[in-house]
Structure 1
């Protein structure tokens, strides 16, 4: 497809509207700034989750050093 002028259209993850997936679409893969912000808000409010095993925050074996507040330097 070298030299092809076909445009790649994808569904916006937020509203499902067809949108061009190219460097000229500054919001890709979203269709607009609004849809991009809606998606960011969903992540920030924990509407989306990444599956994984539950972690017991009181179990020292499950606390990573970078997550341990007592291991952080005091400024």
Structure 2
């Protein structure tokens, strides 16, 4: 990071918001792991909440390397 925003937390995610459940479904679909995700053991919020990082991108000029998590995994969204 070129700017030095100390003491702040930034959300690093791509430009296509996914819920935690959709992320794990894509991981399972990718076949890149030997074991399949079975379920969450606990949550700090709803599994359907979609994350986005427009504030992070605006504040520090960060852009993700891949346009989407599903493209990173090589699966259709």
TM category (shorter chain) comes to under 0.3
Name the structure with the higher strand share.
1
Between structure 1 and structure 2, the one with the greater Rg is 1
> Bigger relative contact order, structure 1 or 2, given CA contacts below 8 A and separation 6+?
2
TM-score by length of 1: 0.20
